[in-house]
Amino acid sequence: MDTKNSRSEFGSKEQEVKLQDDSLIIHEEEIEKIDRALIKLIKGAEAKCALLVDKDGYLITRQGFTHSLDTTALAALLAGSFASTREIARLVGEPEFSVLFHQGKRDHIHISLVGERSILVAIFDDRTTIGMVRLYAKECGEELATILGQAHKSKKKSEPAIDSGFAASAEDRLNDIFRD
Amino acid sequence: MVSINYAFREICCKIVYYGPGLSGKTTNLIYIHKKAPPQTKGELISLATDADRTLYFDFLPIDIGPVQGFSTKFQLYTVPGQVYYNATRKLVLRGVDGLVFVVDSQAAKLEENIESMNNLIENLEEYGYVLEELPMIIQYNKRDLEEVSSLEELEKCLNPRGLPYFEAVAVKGTGVFDTLKAISKLVLEKARGKSEPEGKKELISVSAESKSSVMPSAEREELEKKPYAPARESVPEAPLGKDSFEEVERDLEQPEKTYRVEEKLEKAREREREKEEQAKETVRLQKEKEEELIKVRLKEQEEKARKEKEGAERKKLFLERLEREMAGVERQKKALELEKIKEAEELRKKEQAALIEKMKKMEEEKKTLIQSQSEIEKETVEAERVSKEAVPEGPVQTVKADETGLPFQSKIIISPMLRQKKTKPAKGGFLWRWIQKIAGPNLDPKNRR
Ligand SMILES: Nc1nc2c(ncn2[C@@H]2O[C@H](COP(=O)(O)OP(=O)(O)OP(=O)(O)O)[C@@H](O)[C@H]2O)c(=O)[nH]1
Ligand SMILES: [Mg+2]
């Protein structure tokens, strides 16, 4: 585990306060930008795949070789793992472990904090090195923090909102699906 | 926090099953996982102890499919109910959109239920969430058991706000889906409220703010120039990476769509430009990477050279030291040997001296012994002479004895000899036997009175 403490490296505290009572809303342009950043990371570091996960366990987007992965479960578990690591940091008096590294026999996982509420995950094998992944993940993380920071500031009016009929439409579907 | 992903047209909500240990939270999820249609459910993940008690959380993703063009997903979590797992329990609560409080209806568990409810309120407060604003359903579980509290009592103790509730027997599935449907609905109603577009005022202030942002101004301008897309909802975007020009060509064949073509072309061009930029970026990155690698290699080489040099120097120094040390050792060895020889010699001398001394002593002893022997002989001769003179004729003269019991003559003979010898003659020796012969048994001190 990397204990390098870099809370202010990717995002500011002020941002978190602002976002806390807000839903996570992601727009297409942002996803495109995020995907580009992830591709850059994958190519640069020669990683197998990269995921951006919300701290609450939602998968925001993914790139690379992810077909064989249950990314939904992966996202939830990674977020849980990061949350518990964060709590461990707090208990030992460390502001945050901003980087987590799991070493496997073949595949390794590099997890780093992006901004205050997202987690960048890179899965790689021995074709590359942890050093390269660390280098590119840091760069990618900075880029993503900027993109996400922008995203939450500029809510586009043009997006179709979820209207009042949404819950009603969902209800029918729910009744349809969940029958004993 | 409801997550709305416009790129994937996805809405995601987090629902947490809360409640005391063994109340049946995990059982709820197991039933849902077992009975939900296959296309709607993902894998059920349980982070549990060996005894099937939840340790961190259970996780079950549910996808109810598109609702108004949005793929709608729920992520169901359970918390560990046991009191001492509060640290992980609290973590699971983070970002919750809706709560199901699973009550263990057994009368004996009432206290635990209340404690768990208070713990929930406490944990939410610590996150800064407002309990009243959070969609919540209460599930009175284990209604099949005998010793259960009445519904009225449970309501009174656990539901002062009059939240919607369901009675349930989670092991049989009774009430499980009803609970899930109810909380899902509440959460989606809440989500609608949350994602409604914000006012114009907000937008203006945002654009003012974004000027000072890190984004390069050219790119921002380009973004701002981007045409407003009114028909986005009805015409889904081309998925990422798909060749956009092809699509435009297809659209051109349909006259009623022409008004969108301009826009699409513009978009496609933009994408093309972006692709180029991306390619450039990749080349640049590649270069950077190469440079980085070269740097690393150079550094490595330098390091290696330095290390080699250092190594050589160290070796030299070591050899020198070794030599010095060897010389020192040699000298020391010689000195030691010399010393040893000297010592040995001295020892030998001493031994010789001691030997000489001993020999001298022995010589002296011999002399004294000879002397005393000759004296004894002399005295013996003298004594014989005296006795011959004293008893030439007549009967044997009795020698008068003194108090010691020794005859005078014996006394005269023996005493000078004894004084001279200092030590008594050894018993059994020649001298002794001789004295005994002369002095008789009275000589022995044991026989003295
Ligand atoms: N009789 C009866 N037993 C139930 C019911 N629901 C759950 N159980 C049983 O209660 C026990 C505990 O259920 P779990 O779902 O594991 O409890 P939990 O709330 O997840 O407990 P923790 O993980 O410790 O917080 C299991 O043996 C279930 O079979 C019910 O409605 N009736
Ligand atoms: Mg459980």
Q: Which helix (H) or strand (E) holds B55?
A: strand B54-67
CATH topology of domain A35-152: Beta-Lactamase (3.30.450)
Which atom of ligand 1 is the closest one to the Cα of B172?
31
Residue B389, judged by CB atoms within 10 A of its CB (0-12, 13-18, 19+), counts as exposed
The Cα of B310 is separated from the nearest Cα of chain A by a number of Å equal to 27
Nearest to B89 by CA among B61, B50, B58, B49: B58
Neighbours of ion ligand 2 (CB under 5 A): B 25-26, 54
Name the residue ranges covered by the structural domains of chain B: 3-198+211-242, 411-448
Question: What is the maximum span of chain B, computed from C-alpha positions, in angstroms?
Answer: 191
Nearest to A15 by CA among A104, A146, A105: A146
Q: Helix, strand or coil for residue B48?
A: strand
Q: Which residue type sits at B149?
A: S
pLDDT digits (tens, 9 = 90+) for B318-372: 888 888 888 888 888 888 888 888 998 999 999 999 999 999 999 999 898 888 8
Predicted pLDDT of residue B285: 84
Backbone angles phi, psi at B104, to 5 degrees: -90, 110
Residue B385 CB-half CA count within 13 A: 6
Q: Do B191 and A162 touch (CB under 8 A)?
A: yes
**Residues in chain B with pLDDT values less than 50:** 195-249, 251-253, 255-258, 394, 396-397, 401, 409-419, 421-422, 449
A74, A139, A160, B206, B207 from B219: Cα distances, Å = 34, 19, 25, 17, 14
Predicted pLDDT of residue B320: 86
What's the whole-model pTM score? 0.58
Q: Do B37 and A43 touch (CB under 8 A)?
A: no
- Whether residue A124 is predicted with pLDDT greater than 90 in this model: the reply is yes
Residue in chain A nearest B271 by alpha carbon: A32
Buried b / exposed e along B30-56 (16+ C-beta atoms within 10 A)? bbbbeebeeebbbebbbbbeeeeebbb
Helix residue ranges per DSSP H, B391-423: 408-421
Beta strands B98-104 and B10-18 are: parallel
Predicted pLDDT of residue A34: 93
Predicted pLDDT of residue B61: 95
B90, B259, B417 from A84: Cα distances, Å = 10, 53, 111
Q: How many helices and strands, by DSSP H and E, does chain A display? A: 6, 6
Residue pair A49/A74 in contact by the 8 Å Cβ criterion: no
Q: Do B197 and A173 touch (CB under 8 A)?
A: no
Q: Is this complex scored with an ipTM above 0.85?
A: no
Predicted pLDDT of residue B159: 95
Among A18-27, A106-115, B244-253, which is the least confidently predicted range?
B244-253
Q: Report residue A14's pLDDT band, with 50, 70 and 90 as the boundaries.
A: very low
Which atom of ligand 1 is the closest one to the Cα of B143?
31
CATH topology of domain B3-198+211-242: Rossmann fold (3.40.50)
Q: How far out from the chain centre does Cα B446 lie?
A: 88
Q: How far out from the chain centre does Cα A46 lie?
A: 19
> In this structure, how many other beta carbons lie within 10 angstroms of the beta carbon of residue A158?
12
Backbone angles phi, psi at B66, to 5 degrees: -75, 135
Buried b / exposed e along B4-19 (16+ C-beta atoms within 10 A)? bbbbbbbbbbbbbbbb
pLDDT digits (tens, 9 = 90+) for A149-167: 876 665 544 445 566 678 8
> In this structure, how many other beta carbons lie within 10 angstroms of the beta carbon of residue B20?
24
Predicted pLDDT of residue B143: 97
Q: Do B194 and A32 touch (CB under 8 A)?
A: no
The Cα of B158 is separated from the nearest Cα of chain A by a number of Å equal to 27
Residue B308 CB-half CA count within 13 A: 5
Residue in chain A nearest B32 by alpha carbon: A178
Cα(B163)–Cα(A112) distance, integer angstroms:
40
